[in-house]
A and B are shown apart, each in its own frame.
Chain A
Amino acid sequence: MDPTTEQPEILPAAMISRLRALDRAEPIVDPRTDRAVLEAARAYFDGRPAAARARRSRWAVPLGAAAAVLLAAVLMRPLVFQPLADDVDGSGSVDVLDVLALARMRAAAGDASGVTEARIEELAYRIVALDSARRVP
């Protein structure tokens, strides 16, 4: 197959509809319900011992924030942070600077770098392949 004639993939219709279902608008809450929930919450917290409230209020927020960040990082990592296999310099794109990075690694440490000349050549030829390059606008 000639890679220069590849067409971009089109997602199945079922997947498209499922993705759209996830993209929901925020629910609209009745103001009276909102007020009632707030008053109930206040009443609950007002009835708790002061010391316990203080302890919880001193550590709860920082710990909770840290836990939330950690959880977000773990869960979101596959979706947000997907490093490209050849993006050696982590720039977000694969180009000659990645080839240079590989070559510099090999120049610095030789075989111990784990980078071979063949690997450098392979990546170099890949970045100049016409099927992966954008046309001049």
Chain B
Amino acid sequence: MTADQTTASDEAGPAAPLGKDLVGLEGLSGDTIRMILDTAEPFKEISERPIKKVPVLRGKTIVNLFFEPSTRTRISFEFAEKRLGADTVNISSVGSSVSKGESLVDTARNLEAMRIDMVVIRHGSSGAARFLADRIPSNVINAGDGRHEHPTQALLDMLTMRDRLGKVEGLRVCIVGDIVHSRVARSNIFGLRALGAEVGVCGPRSLVPVGIEDLGVSVFGHVEEAIEWADVLNVLRLQLERMNAGFIPSLREYNRVFGVTRARLERAPREVVVLHPGPMNRGVEIDSDVADGPQSVILPQVTNGVAVRMAVLYLLAGGRPELAEDAKRGSGG
């Protein structure tokens, strides 16, 4: 029943520099990731124009298939798609046939039958994006699968680090918070290591998964140590459910022990840049004076998100990285 199991990257000619799909950063080379980030650069400027549109994906149909609630990622993708001129359809699990028990296989086949070009999928199960990608010929972009990967988030994080600090290679980046449940953490680990950064994770051991060291990261049990070590902190959202599930005793205690606060940052030996994938729980994992302070690049992350997603869409559609400048001028489609 499984359709063509060959990943498109195996058969990707020069017309598809990124292969058929982007399901994760695991296994991508530093060069490939740099190519995506470089391709994002010219797309940044489009969003600054009064008319924010280039016809690169004109005539392409993209389905945003969201099995989990999402606001910012979905909107960011939608802006990216529309600014490239694609036609987009949003499907969310609420009220669709997905919630009526239709299997992911059937959903995929039905989409395929409507002759679409790309699917952006967000799903609660790890591996769901790969599952879909293996079964349909359309390009598939993972917008978050379970606790596995969220590659475009990590790409925008890395682009933001590069903007602020000049390069990613050699940086010490510590991911702070709920590592166990975080797809952002995994994509950051894979991507940052491919670019030559040193990666640490920090959180209560109940939220740091077994065997994380085997992914090549250092583990910090105290946020003060992490801050002392790091050039960059990527602070993850702590979900309220984790308290109810017994991973931590309370949000108040979490803030007391692991919160990224102004006082803790001021004791750092160097200025630490602070990222957060959002949405933030102010006063829990991050204090407002940090989130809104000079070390924070949280809003630039959001801006970069659109550019990075434009780059990924462009590359998967067969766009050549070196032509992105032309594409921006409207001649690359």
Chain A bound to chain B: no
